[in-house]
A and B are shown apart, each in its own frame.
Chain A
């Protein structure tokens, strides 16, 4: 019992969950499923992030059924909110586990999926932080999706480490987030929040935005290999998202966890070998 309480203490101290962030989302816990409401930009983001995930995974596998393209794939949706992204992924055949630290969000998500008999079975929601499920879910998931989440976490490196622990070797990690640039301050905070109200005021803090270079660095140094980074652009007039060259504001990223024994793909073989040399000498030295 004692050890358990210590562990709990530890996990809140070294948590990736930021309690101030949680308070912000608490107020809007009921608004998730209003397609024209506060979360309308996230609803329309499905039009590009779902095909991105779907097509990347289809390209990586050789046997699939177009009628159920994600069948047999276990996905973890971290920071799932009201389940906006979990539901389409579930409809495409995946088994989805959605986690969110806010209980009200999970309640909303559970109620919304309950009306659809197919989704009710395919998706499981849990009120939890990422760290809390690490122990029982080591190397369980084929795919992790962290969409519009990393700009809200307290400790990004720990978040990535936990992702690596629950992901199977050669599993995929999909992240969408916002870059930390002057442009993203102007468009992402001033225009989006203060002027046009595309995002509820106070949702984002520019300080916590993550440049893709830093995200890539953290991922690569924690056993991931970044495969793709694409810029995303929101058009407030049409309410729709599109892909763009520039990652100055929003972007999406796909990374793959290296396989067992540090072998992720032939292209990476050379640097891996170089790294393995010092390990070998270290071993013999011992």
Chain B
């Protein structure tokens, strides 16, 4: 928004709880918090020059994504026909550094308050006749006061803005935690595939960082997650390799049923089955890079109110199995920025519900289906029960054979 021409004479303040993050060059080791950035999000970042910084710092494009089941042979492969990048794995710190650099460039319009915290909000009363200010008043921890026509809450799934605005949130804690780590591969490879296997305890994913390193995101039960963190490095590495390679969860019944279905497909659609590849094996884990955090799902009943808008995790929280959390947030940003830009060019009051509601409708329509689908997938893949395994096996195989469906999924 700071880069939008229609905001040329507006003033924007950014309250950031953390310290300023900048890089002169990337550190040698990888950070263990990474995100899968979709091409759409990359376009957004490049629209104001941040993507160039990301590229000059560090990022890893991937061309292919293989997703398969631990309980059967079923798998699905996503890749773009024209060998374009499907997405990019970028460390969160790199994105932050790129954004900081671009923020510095518009410092005359955007003022960033680092290490700041809002302790009180005063909302404008809906009646327009009173003599108190119709704007939102914010009191900071250091005593400073700010007032604004529009407050955007981008403060994560425990959003204080959302709570203070009394917006109800539908939330559900999964009985899972995600374990993240930076891994070193046994041998250097053209590491441009993202791997994800659905274990009964939860999906394990390997995301490429470089030709020799990958990032781990393993969603599993809280107990197992704690065990993984506590065990020594060698056992940890063994668990990862076994999770990807072992077939202990297969049953003959499912395997036969799956094989039958696959032959049927190959009769109808010869190109519809592909060879299952095996992910690279892991040799080492970066010391100190293991961490875990609990997972949950959330969705705010409203994204906007008079003079307030919620974006990103403050509005919705999703399971990492689809790698979409941050991309939903970037989508929110692109949409809100577009509506605010039009409103500014029309001379409208930026906090007016008229255009905020348009943003809400557009994004809720998009987000709700994806969040619901992710939740369903999570539950569907959390079981060993034969009927459900069969259902998802056939479902996955069928989807793999149908290019139109796959294209729709990857475009989302």
| Residue B174, interface by CB 8 Å | no
| Residue A68, interface by CB 8 Å | yes
**Could you say which of A10-18, A20-28, A46-54, A149-157 contacts chain B?**
A46-54
In chain A, residues 131-184, which have Cβ atoms closer than 8 Å to a Cβ of chain B? none
Interchain residue pairs A-B with the least CB separation, the first 7: A67-B8, A88-B347, A33-B128, A91-B347, A92-B347, A66-B5, A50-B346
Provide 30 A-B residue pairs closer than 8 Å at the C-beta atoms, listed in order of the A residue. A30-B129, A33-B129, A34-B128, A35-B353, A35-B354, A47-B346, A50-B346, A50-B347, A50-B348, A54-B345, A66-B6, A66-B345, A67-B6, A67-B7, A67-B8, A68-B8, A87-B347, A87-B349, A88-B346, A88-B347, A88-B348, A89-B347, A91-B348, A91-B349, A92-B347, A93-B9, A111-B131, A112-B128, A115-B133, A115-B134
Question: B residues within 8 A CB of A46?
Answer: 346-348
| Residue B352, interface by CB 8 Å | yes
Cross-chain contact A68 with B9 (CB below 8 angstroms): yes
Q: How far is the CA of A118 from the CA of B352 in the complex (A)?
A: 17
Question: B residues within 8 A CB of A90?
Answer: 347
In chain B, residues 345-386, which have Cβ atoms closer than 8 Å to a Cβ of chain A? 345-349, 352-354
Q: Contact string, A54-82, partner B, CB cutoff 8 A, digits 1/0?
A: 10000000000111110000000000000
In chain A, residues 89-108, which have Cβ atoms closer than 8 Å to a Cβ of chain B? 89-93
Cross-chain contact B352 with A35 (CB below 8 angstroms): yes
| Residue A44, interface by CB 8 Å | yes
Q: How far is the CA of A68 from the CA of B9 in the complex (A)?
A: 8
Q: How far is the CA of A44 from the CA of B358 in the complex (A)?
A: 14
Q: How far is the CA of A204 from the CA of B353 in the complex (A)?
A: 28
Interface of A is mostly: helix
Cβ-closest chain A residue relative to B8: A67
Question: A residues within 8 A CB of B236?
Answer: none
| Residue B135, interface by CB 8 Å | yes
Question: A residues within 8 A CB of B344?
Answer: 91
Q: Which residues of B contact A (CB under 8 A)?
A: 5-9, 127-129, 131, 133-135, 344-349, 352-354
Q: How far is the CA of A54 from the CA of B348 in the complex (A)?
A: 13
Contact flag A115-B7 (CB < 8 Å), given A44-B354, A50-B347, A92-B347: no
B34 to chain A: closest CB distance in Å? 37
Question: B residues within 8 A CB of A34?
Answer: 127-128
Interface of B is mostly: loop
Question: A residues within 8 A CB of B131?
Answer: 111
A173 to chain B: closest CB distance in Å? 19
Q: Contact string, A26-43, partner B, CB cutoff 8 A, digits 1/0?
A: 000010011100000001
Q: How far is the CA of A135 from the CA of B135 in the complex (A)?
A: 39
B135 to chain A: closest CB distance in Å? 7
Q: How far is the CA of A230 from the CA of B9 in the complex (A)?
A: 32
11 new A-B contacts, CB < 8 A, other than A51-B346, A87-B347, A87-B349, are A30-B129, A33-B129, A35-B352, A46-B346, A50-B346, A51-B345, A54-B345, A66-B6, A67-B9, A88-B346, A91-B348
Q: How far is the CA of A92 from the CA of B343 in the complex (A)?
A: 11
User: Which of A46, A47, A67 lies at the interface centre, i.e. has the most chain B CB atoms within 10 A of its CB?
Assistant: A67
Question: B residues within 8 A CB of A89?
Answer: 347
User: Which of A54, A87, A91 lies at the interface centre, i.e. has the most chain B CB atoms within 10 A of its CB?
Assistant: A91
B175 to chain A: closest CB distance in Å? 44
Q: How far is the CA of A93 from the CA of B346 in the complex (A)?
A: 11
Cβ-closest chain A residue relative to B133: A115
Cβ-closest chain B residue relative to A240: B354
A232 to chain B: closest CB distance in Å? 16
A193 to chain B: closest CB distance in Å? 23
A24 to chain B: closest CB distance in Å? 20
Cross-chain contact B5 with A67 (CB below 8 angstroms): yes
Question: B residues within 8 A CB of A68?
Answer: 8-9
Q: How far is the CA of A88 from the CA of B344 in the complex (A)?
A: 9
Cβ-closest chain B residue relative to A48: B346
Cβ-closest chain A residue relative to B4: A67
Q: How far is the CA of A115 from the CA of B147 in the complex (A)?
A: 11
A33 to chain B: closest CB distance in Å? 4
Question: A residues within 8 A CB of B128?
Answer: 33-34, 112
Q: How far is the CA of A90 from the CA of B349 in the complex (A)?
A: 11
Question: A residues within 8 A CB of B349?
Answer: 87, 91
Q: How far is the CA of A33 from the CA of B129 in the complex (A)?
A: 8
Question: B residues within 8 A CB of A88?
Answer: 346-348
Partner of A115, one of B5, B135, B348: B135
